[in-house]
Structure 1
Amino acid sequence: MDEVEVVVAHSERATLRVGDVFLKVDADQARIDIEVEAMALAPVPTPEVLWRKPPVLAIAAVPGTALGRLGAPSTASPAAWAAAGAAIRKLHDAPLPPWPGRRRRDPGELAAEVDGECELLVANGVLPADLVTRNRQVAEAALRPWTPVFTHGDLQIDHVFVDGDEITGIIDWSEAGRGDALFDLATVTLGHEERLGDLVAGYGPGVDLDVVRAWWSVRSLLGVRWLVEHGFDPFAAGCEVDVLRARM
């Protein structure tokens, strides 16, 4: 029997790998429903669904290697980053999915959430006040109305797989839905600011770079406490806290 590898595990869900099969265990069936439907609708390479027996979803591994990892330099070529941008643009240009999306709220609700999180980060001594204040200022550019597109919703750099300069698969679609295109672009380049130009070269026109940078601050501000509480380290080199520090 192949060795069982724990890919990620926390109180909400767990992902295991056995050989070339990933087993996603999630008690939230609505989240799994979205993942399966999103992969069926997305006009980009996605993993093959092998079987589903709640609360487990089995999917096949996609070929290639991740575009990179948060906290480490990406070794992928500029052409691979451009190909990722082109694939993301194809997704964003696709018809809207029939569900609204789980992650993003209207700008007013999101601003209130960011403000509340900023207060907690300072009050609990997680981050210094000047760092939080500066990033809250940067974040303001993202807190505006946007035209919804078909977004992945959690397009972390290690969710995009490449083989050479070609995209072989995009994984983990449980947060897919109608959202802000620039949120996806910000998520995949989080901690890899130097690759934003390559990504945008493939994505095409219409990208407001200030809004992308603002989403880096929003995502990092909202993520720090959650990551700590679920056993991850946002203070590691190149991760969320370093992203916030780069805005100073």
Structure 2
Amino acid sequence: MDEIQVVVAHSERATLRVGDVFLKVDVDQAHIDAEVEAMSLVPVPTPKVLWRKPPVLAIAAVPGTTLGRLGGPATGSPAAWAAAGAAIRKLHEAPLPPRTGRAGRSVVALAAELDDECESLVASGLLPAELVTRNRQVAEAALRPWAPVFTHGDLQIAHVFLEDDQVTGVIDWSEAGRGDALYDLATFTLGHEEHLDDLLAGYGTDVDLDVIHAWWSLRSLLIVRWLSEHGFDPFEPGCEVDVLRARM
């Protein structure tokens, strides 16, 4: 029997790999429902759903490799990054899904959440006040009106697989729904901003770079404390805290 690989595990969900099968366990059934629904709607390659038995979803592995991971080196040719950008554009041009996703939180709610999180980061001493204040200023550019598109909602670089400079599969759709297109682009290039131009070569350059920079700051500010409390280290080289430091 193949050994079991723990891909990710925390108090809310876990993903295990056994051979070519991924088993996703989530305490919130709505996440699994959203994932299956999104994969049935999107015009980009996704894993095959093998079976569902709440709270477990079994999906098949997709071929290929990712372009890297947050905190690690980025790989792949400019053509591979452009292919990823073209796939993201195809997703964003798809008909709107029925749900509002993680990237679709209202500006008012997002600003309130951000201000509360910044206050907690400083009060706890987790991050220096100067670092938080500067990135809160940068993040302001993301708090503006936007036209909703079909977003992935958690489009980390580790969630897109490619082979021969072609996208073979996009995984982890539980946060998918209507949202801000630039949130997806910022999430994919978080910690790998040197590849943003290559990504946009495939996506198209009609994007506001200041908003992408703002999302880098905003997303990092919102996640640092959660990561620290759930056994992850946002202070590792190239991860969220380094992303925040780069804005100074």
- Structure 1 length-normalised TM: 0.99
Distance 1:89 1:143, change over 3 A: same
Q: Please list the CA deviations of residues 11-42 of structure 1 after superposition, one character each: whole Å capped at 9, or x if unmatched.
A: 00000000000000012111100000101101
Which residue is equivalent to 2:163? 163
Counterpart in the other structure of 2:247: 247
Deviations 1:38-73 (A, max 9, x none): 011010010000001111000000000112111112
Aligned to 1:201: 201
Shift of 1:145: 1.1
Q: Does 1:148 align with 2:151?
A: no
- 1:95 maps to 95
Amino acid at match of 2:199: L
Counterpart in the other structure of 1:5: 5
The offset of 1:102, in angstroms, is 4.4
Identical counterparts, % of pairs: 80
Q: Give, in whole Å, the separation in 1 of the partners of 2:28 and 2:126.
A: 30
Partner amino acid, structure 2, of 1:11: S
Q: Judge conservation of contact 1:106–1:145 (CA < 8 Å) in 2.
A: no
Q: Equivalences for 1:78-89 in 2 at 5 Å?
A: 78-89=78-89
Question: d(CA) in 2 for partners of 1:34 and 1:44?
Answer: 16
Tell me, in whole angstroms, the C-alpha distance in 2 between the residues paired with 1:200 and 1:103.
19
The aligned counterpart of 1:42 is 42
TM-score by length of 2: 0.99
Whole-angstrom distance in 2 between the partners of 1:90 and 1:143: 24
User: C-alpha deviations, 1:181-212, integer Å up to 9, x for none?
Assistant: 00000000000010000001100132101100
Question: Please, which runs of 5 or more residues in structure 2 have no aligned partner?
Answer: none
- Note if 1:69 corresponds to 2:75: no
What's the offset of the Cα at 1:109?
1.1
Unaligned runs of 5+ in 1: none
Structure 2 letter corresponding to 1:166: Q
